[in-house]
Structure 1
Amino acid sequence: MDAVRQALVWVLERSVSHRLVEFARSAAGAGEEGQDALYALAGRFLGPYRGAANPALVRAAIEADEDVPVEAEGPDGRGVVHLVAAIGLGAQEVGADALAEAFAAFGMFGLTVEDWAQMLGAAERGEAPPVDWGLLEQHADVAGPVRRTSDEELVRARTVLVGLSGFYALYVMHGLLMPDTPALVALRQRIDEFGMFPFLDRIIAINPSPTQFAETLAVCLQPLLDNLYEALMEQVAAGPDLFRIPGDETGAAGFMETWMRTLRELTNAAPQDGGGADNGPGERPG
């Protein structure tokens, strides 16, 4: 296990996340020029990723043969740059409004930019308990917790990561017309109660690179994700079967056949090239 831990630390210390944090710290005493360089570098690394579209809205659009609405998109990820800046320059230097944008970019707990701005602004004005920004510095160290964790905690983090990856995939595939069973509905509702789908979308990759796997494993050491995993496992254990359509006694086989049939019918119903009137660019057949 020590060899595994050392390999994880080696990868994490060479990750984009680690390099951004180190650059942010070095920019602390470099004045406006250093701040501009930090924002430019973080902006290139983080990009404009908005996250996966809301699967329920995607499914509704497909079923209605309409375009996916703009509001289905996830939160704009570019705001995270302010969080990186706060690690190096200090939260007070970045300001409550920018940090509200950063926290909202993670999409956690269903809170909007306005929600975060109200809470952080109240703390900044002394109208609410102060924020312990030292925690931000602690969580910025992705390699340290892995270096200090026990073998049991590392194995547990892997279990949490594998489990949450599966639950995330089930949530996403609702948008791909996967049959909806009472158990799957309950599972998605449980994730929504935690307000964690956008966050899972940001940290989990279906086919992760070694760096992505190491970074997500480090995040899964946190109690918040461990608690989410436990709650979802309890939900599954309480039943019913995730893949049993009510009234269909064939179980998972019937579930998959229903899904494949739905996709075939959708494909067959799609307009074929060369048929019908020309509706013009960007227009749908009437």
Structure 2
Amino acid sequence: MAAALARHVRQGRDLRLAVVDWFAEAGLPQPGRPMVPEPPPAAVHAALMWMSATCPIRKLIGQAREARTEPDVDAFYRVAGNAFDNEPVAPIAFDVTDMRAAILARRDLGEDLPSRSSGRQAVVQLIAAAGLGVDEIGADAFIEALATLFPVLPLEDLRSALGDCELSGQMDTLLKQLAAFGVPPVMQAAGIGELRRARTVLYQLSGVAAFYRGYALLMPDTAGLAALRARVDELGAGHLLMMVTGWSLTRRTRDFVAGLDACMQPWAVRLNEELMKQIMDGPPLLGGPDGALTAEKFMNDWLATIKSLAPAER
């Protein structure tokens, strides 16, 4: 336990962050090493509650909801505008088939992806919508912010819904409910067993998301991977996978907590059950019917495809 904790502690870092990172590490397969022991449940719960309560986005939403005057609103935008200077705000969803085709065609993707500044602005707009209401920023700005961060959403359908006064009011109410300041009740009431189950769901969904993203990055296709990708698309879950499992790319403590919270929701549990069933009942993901596609051959084929696209002078 001392060794596990020491891997995540450094001078000046809050010990609660180290406990969350330790909890994230515990239970993962450790080839050639003993399993990492679980941290004390009380310490895990206290650390997660502290992180949820001190989430910068949650605090900004709280500030927006408390704004009563124009100067208050201006102050919110001032703070929010500076809050994400060092945050890796980036698109979290994209069409994997289109991305793969673009890379194979050697097409520059720079113009297709939002800039860091537009990503930060979109996050601020969504926080303002959640804290102040959609009417504060306007339906068009709300749609534009969603399009920047979630390019695969059916935005025309949402635009039509927001044009309806009744649905617009429902959207505004929903955003305010989601923006409730404080600790998420589901995590607050969860026992250690529920938190560990949510962690497993996050690990498993992250694995599926890695295969799903990998297709865009020229990962070799197999019957099993194609069937899994088709099931994800059939469920309309591609962008959700990328959103929930952002931690698997960033390895940031706060992203893990956000993913853990999402994976405690019933929809995430059901999605994971569907995808695990596909993996168990469908074709093998890598091996193939004759077992000829070893992990080594899979990686060699992947690297060969990438190298074949490199300019000759490089």
Give the TM-score category using the shorter length: 0.7 to 0.9
Q: Structure 2 vs 1, CA of residues 119 and 216 (structure 1 numbering), >3 Å: closer, same or farther?
A: same
Q: Structure 2 vs 1, CA of residues 108 and 70 (structure 1 numbering), >3 Å: closer, same or farther?
A: closer
1:130: Cα distance to partner? 5.5
1:15 corresponds in structure 2 to: 55
SS of residue paired to 1:117: helix
1:66-107 deviation line (CA, Å, top 9, x unaligned): 323744779x64434333223332344444444444554553
1:151-199 deviation line (CA, Å, top 9, x unaligned): 3322221112111111111111112221101221222222223333334
The yes-or-no answer on 1:131 pairing with 2:165 is no
1:144 corresponds in structure 2 to: 184
Equivalence map 1:142-221=2 (5 Å)? 143-145=183-185, 146-203=187-244, 204-205=246-247, 206-221=249-264
Find the partner of 1:243 among 286, 297, 307.
Answer: 286
Cα contact 1:161–1:217 (8 A) shared by 2: yes
AA at the equivalent of 2:217: L
Paired with 2:168 and 2:71, the residues of 1 have a C-alpha distance of 33
Aligned residues: 265
* Percent identity for Structure 1 against Structure 2: 36
1:118 corresponds in structure 2 to: 160
AA at the equivalent of 2:52: L
Q: Structure 2 vs 1, CA of residues 103 and 59 (structure 1 numbering), >3 Å: closer, same or farther?
A: closer
Cα contact 2:232–2:238 (8 A) shared by 1: yes
> TM-score scaled by structure 1?
0.77
Cα contact 1:53–1:72 (8 A) shared by 2: no
SS of residue paired to 1:110: coil
1:243: Cα distance to partner? 0.9
2:15 corresponds in structure 1 to: none
Paired with 1:116 and 1:167, the residues of 2 have a C-alpha distance of 27
AA at the equivalent of 2:218: L
SS of residue paired to 1:170: helix
- RMSD between superposed Cα atoms in Å: 3.2
AA at the equivalent of 1:254: K
Question: Gaps (5+ residues) in structure 1?
Answer: 274-286
Q: Structure 2 vs 1, CA of residues 51 and 73 (structure 1 numbering), >3 Å: closer, same or farther?
A: farther
Stretch moving more, 220-229 or 171-180: 220-229
Stretch moving more, 243-252 or 159-168: 243-252
Find the partner of 2:273 among 230, 255, 262.
Answer: 230
1:256 corresponds in structure 2 to: 299
1:244: Cα distance to partner? 2.8
Q: Structure 2 vs 1, CA of residues 130 and 33 (structure 1 numbering), >3 Å: closer, same or farther?
A: closer
Cα contact 2:93–2:150 (8 A) shared by 1: no
